[in-house]
């Protein structure tokens, strides 16, 4: 794997069995992500965009092929080592924020750092710093139920980026937000991509946002085609 590559997949295919029949979702996908690169993955509903993101993030295994993250083949690691590699190198943002309702914004954002082994004091300081960067300095002690949809999603972005991951995987991260709030979250992600240097892989249905990425890749009939 090239040292200039943050994330790589080689000849990755994924199939599922439905009604006794094998259904090919992805076929021989090859992809290299460089540091700080912005990639948009587009395609029709059901084309396999989320499936591909799950494979890249080590949340699922390919039927065949290899997925490499930070120089390690993530699909060959046991669950414990895979979780450590994800925690150290990847951030995830989904359409739903997945914040833990019983914890404050600080506690939610600090959690990946505590799992990583940071002290409580260090984790809290880093959480406050990234929450301030996303404009939530007045919501530090608020729980998700006390925040707006846009604030919850910004907190989710902060949680994904607090470990300074090499790559952020975002699956329709603003699908539940109104256009104005969605634009703000997108601007935040792009800004942090530049300031922190985190690579960004974004699954989106928004053509205008895709156009702002370094590369646009379209999934068609299980194959990845560059626009």
Tell me which of 14-18, 133-137, 175-179, 200-204 is least confident.
175-179
User: What are the tens digits of pLDDT across the range 24-78?
Assistant: 889 999 999 988 899 999 888 878 888 899 999 988 899 999 999 988 899 889 9
Domain that holds residue 55: 7-226
Instruction: Name the E strands within 36-166.
Output: 38-42, 64-69, 72-73, 90-93
Residue 20 is predicted with a pLDDT of 78
Residue 158 has pLDDT above 70, yes or no: yes
Instruction: Say if 128 falls within a structural domain.
Output: yes
> For the chain, what percent of residues have pLDDT higher than 70?
96
Residue with tokens 């939530």: 136
Compare 106 and 158 and report the one with higher pLDDT. Answer: 106
Residue with tokens 């954002």: 109
The count of domains in the chain is 1
Instruction: Say if 16 falls within a structural domain.
Output: yes
Instruction: Say if 2 falls within a structural domain.
Output: no
Instruction: Say if 98 falls within a structural domain.
Output: yes
Instruction: Say if 207 falls within a structural domain.
Output: yes
Confidence band of 2 (pLDDT split at 50, 70, 90): very low
Instruction: Say if 1 falls within a structural domain.
Output: no
Instruction: Say if 21 falls within a structural domain.
Output: yes
CATH of the domain at 184: 3.40.50.300
Residue with tokens 């709030």: 181
Element (H, E) at 169: strand 167-171
Closest by CA to 169, choosing from 65, 53, 3, 36, is: 53
User: What are the tens digits of pLDDT across the range 12-21?
Assistant: 999 988 777 8
The pTM of this model reads 0.84
**Neighbour tally for 220: CB within 10 Å:** 12
């Amino acid at each position: 794997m090239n040292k200039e590559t943050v994330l790589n997949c080689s000849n990755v295919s994924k199939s599922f069995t439905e009604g006794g029949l094998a259904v090919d979702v992805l076929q021989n996908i090859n992809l290299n992500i460089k540091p700080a690169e912005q990639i948009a993955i587009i395609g029709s509903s059901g084309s396999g965009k989320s499936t591909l993101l799950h494979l890249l993030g080590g949340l699922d295994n390919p039927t065949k092929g290899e997925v490499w993250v930070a120089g390690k083949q993530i699909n060959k690691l046991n669950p414990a080592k895979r979780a450590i590699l994800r925690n150290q190198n990847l951030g995830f943002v989904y359409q739903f924020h997945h914040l833990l309702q019983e914890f404050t914004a600080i506690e939610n954002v600090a959690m990946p750092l505590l799992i990583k082994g940071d002290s409580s004091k260090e984790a809290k300081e880093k959480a406050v710093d990234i929450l301030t960067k996303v404009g939530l300095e007045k919501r530090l002690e608020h729980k998700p139920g006390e925040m707006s949809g846009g604030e919850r999603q910004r907190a989710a972005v902060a949680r994904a980026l607090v470990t300074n991951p090499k790559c952020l995987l975002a699956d329709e991260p603003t699908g539940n937000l109104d256009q104005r709030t969605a634009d703000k979250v997108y601007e935040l992600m792009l800004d942090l991509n530049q300031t922190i240097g985190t690579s960004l892989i974004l699954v989106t249905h928004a053509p205008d946002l895709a156009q702002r990425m370094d590369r646009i890749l379209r999934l068609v009939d299980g194959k990845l085609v560059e626009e």
